[in-house]
Amino acid sequence: MRRFLLASLMVSPLLICSTFTYANNAVPTATQVPTEQITHLENDSILPPIHPWSGASETLLLSADQPWATPFEQQGYVSSPNYHDTMEWLDKLVDSSDVLQKVSIGKSPQGRDIWMIVASQDGVSTAQALSDNGKATVLVQAGIHSGEIDGKDAGMMLLRDISHRNKRDLLENVNLLFIPIFSVDAHERSSKFNRVNQRGPVNMGWRTTANNLNLNRDYAKADALEMQHLIQAINIWQPDLYIDIHVTDGIDYQYDVTFGYNVAQGYSPSIFTWLESIYRPAVEHALTEQGHIPGQLVFANDNTDMTKGLSLWNPSPRFSNGYGDARHLPTILIENHSLKPYKQRVLGTYITLEQTLKTVAKNSTKLKSAINEDKYRNPSELTISWQNETLAEGKDFKGIDYRVEQSPISGDKVVRWTGEPKLYENLPIVANTKADITVTRPVAYYIPPQWTNVIERLSLHGIRMTRLNKPASITAQQYQFSDPLFSSADYEGHQTVTATTAIHKINAYLPAGSMRIPTDQPLGDLAMLLLEPQAEDSLFYWGMFNTIFTRTEYIEDYAVEPLAAKMLLDNPALQAEFDQALKDPDFAKDSQARLRWFYQRSPYYDNEYMKYPVLRASK
């Protein structure tokens, strides 16, 4: 048995352990659910019809009575084990293998460890040792939405086959990091009544964390403790490829495994080229050979009318693949099709992961080169928001036929998927790939020391910064806001905000302790996307600067009236400006607006009101 070890790695300790022993080296068996009792899923009767599926990948499955059958296989390929049974089985596997180690990347809000399996030819247990072997590293994450748990059972099978079924050579030129359950607390909020649109497993976890946060909206703002642990692990273990496994909802179609990544117009064009020209062809070929139907991750523009075409997604950094694009980490978002049987989805995920290891091992030099090209590109301008456009070329789509009926329940149209395959030829594609707002790249940003929450988030992401040891005066650009628009409802625990911006050149005084964030660093693009206020997932948008919109000082009417008279007497030019303002009839009849006009031009006015405290410097 491997003993408890403690490794101090850069930021925080990661616990390395295998916590269970078994008498006579017996293989652990998950709580059995008799297969013959599971004749249908709770929601079968309300889901669209499907055709029976059979593929070559079924040869990967073990029967329930075979040694090292996973809990998924022991339970007839329709169930997924709970947290305890998952980790009990993995502990036994790790203890039996010389290529696996288990580490905790941190604890959840409810106190559960988020475990990660480290798989390498040498069986190393630290990030430094993994880096020293010189091989590319693939990070696979399952259960960010814990009801979408296909990746956990596929990964357990793959680790079993690497350790005990002649697939050890997969690790010859690549390392694997595997997080079986990311959202561990939500995983245990399990029920057969979760995820009504999904065909299995029998019991499924909850979509959001114990704090009701959606982890795949949290990469940029990093509110959730789970997300903070994950980002820290990415910084420590430095994977070369990151896979985030989901199950999608929406329309019915023939594809069982769809996957996507950043677009060519985004922040990592060299990575896109590697993914599009090397990764996708290899994975799609492997899936097709094994009886699966792979496809590009797209969505319908209108779920009730396929003729309106498809939507190709350029995600912002709140999502895993958008975050990967921003920090130049090749990131693949797998979306298995929710209406396909669980067994089929798990096997498709297995093939995807296995081929990923093969492809990265064979093409790691080109992958690392693409990553470095994007990390050090540092373009002089950066697009921070995007608009939709219709692409020049359409796409054939392997869909499912449907009819639209008038619903007596809702009184509106309802789609009835027939289950019959249908090819939709040359559908138009709409993509948010047209540049909207583009900004120049500053040499650096400066943040005053009181904005501790913002500084901590930037540090968490691994963005390099330096602290000013003494006060400094600089020439910089500063955003001035007007017409702020706050969200009317809470979103992910935040009151989001947008505003009209104007930028001005100022001479600024920076107190000691202010932070300087240079943009000529590997995470410079990410820093810009977090600090430029008009960016779609800026920390400004997420409300982390909302206190600048609070007015705390004011002036009484009885004081501003004589003050205004004195100002006009002392400044004839101000009198002319006021006379011009009075030509606006709305202003002229608004007594409060007239008094406010003088207050804003007086030395008593708060000169930091609605001004962005983050400064842009050109040197």
Taking residues 34-52, what's their average pLDDT? 75
Residue at 69 is within a domain: no
So what's the pLDDT on residue 93?
A: 98
Taking residues 127-155, what's their average pLDDT? 97
Same domain assignment for residues 81 and 155:
yes
Is 80 exceeded by the pLDDT of residue 387? yes
Q: In what order do the strands lie in the sheet with 429-440?
A: 299-300, 310-312, 429-440, 381-390
Side-chain-side CA neighbours of 614 within 13 Å: the count stands at: 23
Residue at 390 is within a domain: no
Both tokens of residue 468? 């000013």
Give the closest residue to 251 by CA, choosing from 43, 387, 422, 80.
422
Same domain assignment for residues 224 and 242:
yes
Q: Which domain holds residue 574?
A: 557-600
So what's the pLDDT on residue 619?
A: 83
Q: Cα separation of 591 and 45, whole Å? A: 67
What pTM does this model have?
A: 0.91
Average pLDDT, the chain: 93
Same domain assignment for residues 364 and 452:
no
Residue 157 burial (CB < 10 Å; 0-12/13-18/19+)? buried
Same domain assignment for residues 525 and 594:
no
Contact between 196 and 517 under an 8 Å Cβ cutoff? The reply is: no
Same domain assignment for residues 200 and 331:
yes
**Strand ranges in 470-580 using DSSP code E only, listed in sequence order:** 472-486, 497-510, 515-518
Q: Concatenate the DSSP letters of all residues of 55-75 into one string.
A: -GGGGGPPPTTSTT--HHHHT
Residue at 13 is within a domain: no
Same domain assignment for residues 524 and 567:
no
Residue 401 burial (CB < 10 Å; 0-12/13-18/19+)? middle
pLDDT digits (tens, 9 = 90+) for 17-33: 333 333 333 444 434 44
Same domain assignment for residues 116 and 140:
yes
So what's the pLDDT on residue 39?
A: 52
Beta bridge partners of 177: 118, 139
Taking residues 236-255, what's their average pLDDT? 96
Give the closest residue to 276 by CA, choosing from 566, 387, 492, 284.
284
pLDDT digits (tens, 9 = 90+) for 444-494: 999 999 999 999 999 999 999 999 999 999 999 999 999 999 999 999 999
pLDDT digits (tens, 9 = 90+) for 70-107: 999 999 999 999 999 999 999 999 999 999 999 999 99
Distance of alpha carbon 529 from its chain centroid, rounded?
Answer: 14
Last residue of a domain, one of 356, 378, 400: 378
Residue at 409 is within a domain: no
What share of the chain has pLDDT > 90, as a percent? 89
Residue at 70 is within a domain: no
Q: Cα separation of 539 and 554, whole Å? A: 28
Is 80 exceeded by the pLDDT of residue 64? yes
Same domain assignment for residues 327 and 211:
yes
So what's the pLDDT on residue 11?
A: 36
Q: To 10 degrees, what angle do helices 452-460 and 225-237 make? A: 50
Last residue of a domain, one of 357, 378, 399: 378
Contact between 618 and 443 under an 8 Å Cβ cutoff? The reply is: yes
Same domain assignment for residues 593 and 527:
no
Is 80 exceeded by the pLDDT of residue 503? yes
Taking residues 204-209, what's their average pLDDT? 96
Find the CATH number of the domain harbouring 351: 3.40.630.10
So what's the pLDDT on residue 41?
A: 85
- Phi then psi dihedrals of residue 105, to 5 deg: -90, -5
Same domain assignment for residues 250 and 333:
yes
Is 50 exceeded by the pLDDT of residue 336? yes
Q: Please tell me what DSSP assigns to residue 543.
A: T
Same domain assignment for residues 282 and 201:
yes
Distance of alpha carbon 203 from its chain centroid, rounded?
Answer: 25
pLDDT digits (tens, 9 = 90+) for 409-454: 999 999 999 999 999 999 999 999 999 999 999 999 999 999 999 9
Same domain assignment for residues 113 and 174:
yes
Last residue of a domain, one of 337, 354, 378: 378
pLDDT digits (tens, 9 = 90+) for 342-376: 999 999 999 999 999 999 999 999 999 999 999 99
| Counted domains in the chain | 3
Taking residues 522-551, what's their average pLDDT? 97
Residue at 413 is within a domain: no
Residue at 172 is within a domain: yes
Residue at 123 is within a domain: yes
Q: What share of the chain is helix, strand, coil (3-state, %, to 5)?
A: 30, 25, 40
Q: Please tell me what DSSP assigns to residue 278.
A: I
